[in-house]
Chain A
């Protein structure tokens, strides 16, 4: 117990260090010491003791632009990964990801409707988009959950099929909207690829409660999910209320994924790859898997997003391109090494 506490302490330090370094990197190069100083100056109690050695411009960049983005990358990366663990475990399917039951296509349609039809030009980016995306994601998930029932029970195979069908249908609607109203094509397209560019503390505050609550539910269900891996009948005979677990996973996983998608767009591969990789590294025991996926997903998206905004500076590329670029080959490597779901 003490050993694992010390290990998680070390991991927390690693992630914080990465966050500080990522905040320092960028087109305006800010010294690490200044980043630490700016962060410390904002801490209650200590703040007054810090003597500013930096320019106001740098302070603005760190506090208004880079820090919210860095923290958002951590929250979205961790959230998508934990949601991925939940869906892969409860559907017992290695190809499940946080978007599998319609969250991403629902959010896309919501966002597209918002961008193309309802929000007047100029208002975009004022915080309407996440709300539209979130609503779309939740509506799509509710529809899939309804379609995925057989005789009143949620069933993994039906859920998966309903999710895939719903995804194809909604994506077609989004494409149609894009074709009919081409002037905003670029906005929708960029959003669909996923990006953390220009996000504010408000975006972070929108995603954080859902990710936090989802994480707690995931940890609460960890023991059930372990048993559930044995199959529904075996889990039942070990005292697990299978339907209750399914419903809770569906609700918490979808809310987490919807919150992440609504603030960051559709960032692919994180929620698929991170749980898969961690399962190979730390095993299938869910409490361990959830906690490790959390930090690994957070760190992965932070690194990917930092690359996205610095690699081709001043040009910024959508972070979804980076995650897929890294994720694709890595996934093939994992598959060659042997799948973790079938002996």
Chain B
């Protein structure tokens, strides 16, 4: 069954729709990449999937139910979102990751032993357990990104949405981040990330959505989708047809 589905979804901030008539579905256990030029509606797609904004036309489904029927707190246990910009305050790494457990304890309560255990486990998976008592504001960009991902992992949702998670990272951290996300999808989680780096998308994603001017123009495996023809049409650059000698996945280089 589809984990999430968009049926004929249109959204406009002003008069001009940024997403129009979008139909797509997400299955459990796959890592999806969303690519497209600036202004194609990628971030808007994430906000629609997360329920942060509601479509003016069409419906977003989660587990076959209209997203609007979920209460906010309920939704927080189903979908985790890592937005493009994050703010960093003098929280310790552990406090920050524990924020991911917010939907699981009461307003005046404190995180339980179980919450702490889950937070610790996600710090270990993301390789930041040794930073637990450091202040997030003192960390490097790569470390912070891992803290943010650990926070989303601690939320233990079946859907994970990320807006350009690799943009400000160096090569090593870009690859590590994508590897973590792919592993997460291996546990049955639906992972969907907006990516600007087509090579990262080609190397790690199971499937790719290509958006252009608010419409879905292609969908499929990296090899099927990221062809020189499509890249010329959507991104207005001409590239030769190249393939990775080992994996056979496409390589995009001018």
Contact = CB atoms under 8 A, between A and B. Distances in A.
Contacts of A283: 90-92, 95, 135
A285 interface: yes
Given A233-B81, A238-B76, A227 B137 contact: no
Q: Contact size class for B? A: 35 or more
A230 B99 contact: yes
Given A230-B87, A234-B82, A241 B72 contact: yes
A220 B106 CA distance: 11
Q: Is the interface of B mostly helix, strand, loop or mixed?
A: mixed
Contacts of B75: 237, 239
Contacts of B102: 223, 226-227, 238-240
A324 interface: no
A69 interface: no
Interface in A194-252: 220, 223-224, 226-227, 229-231, 233-234, 236-241
A24 interface: no
A218 B102 CA distance: 17
B76 A279 contact: no
A52 to B, nearest CB: 45
Contacts of B83: 231, 233-234
B50 A285 contact: no
Interface residues of A, number: 26
A231 B139 contact: no
Given A231-B83, A343-B138, A238 B155 contact: yes
Contact of B73 (A92, A239, A341): A239
B76 A237 contact: yes
Contacts of A277: none
B58 to A, nearest CB: 20
A279 B95 CA distance: 14
Contacts of B87: 92, 229-231
A342 B135 CA distance: 12
Contacts of A236: 50-52, 72, 81
Q: Is the interface of A mostly helix, strand, loop or mixed?
A: loop
Contacts of A229: 87, 89, 91
A237 B50 contact: yes
B52 A284 contact: no
A231 B72 CA distance: 16
Nearest to B139: A343
Nearest to A228: B87
Nearest to A223: B107
A236 B184 CA distance: 22
Contacts of B86: 230-231, 234
B103 interface: yes
B29 interface: no
Interface in B100-154: 100, 102-103, 107-108, 135-139, 144
Interface of B: 47, 50-52, 72-73, 75-77, 79-83, 85-92, 95, 99-100, 102-103, 107-108, 135-139, 144, 155, 161
Given A226-B99, A233-B50, A239-B77, 7 more contacts: A220-B108, A226-B102, A229-B89, A234-B82, A238-B155, A284-B91, A285-B95
12 contacts: A223-B108, A226-B102, A227-B99, A227-B102, A229-B91, A231-B83, A233-B47, A234-B81, A236-B51, A239-B72, A239-B73, A343-B137
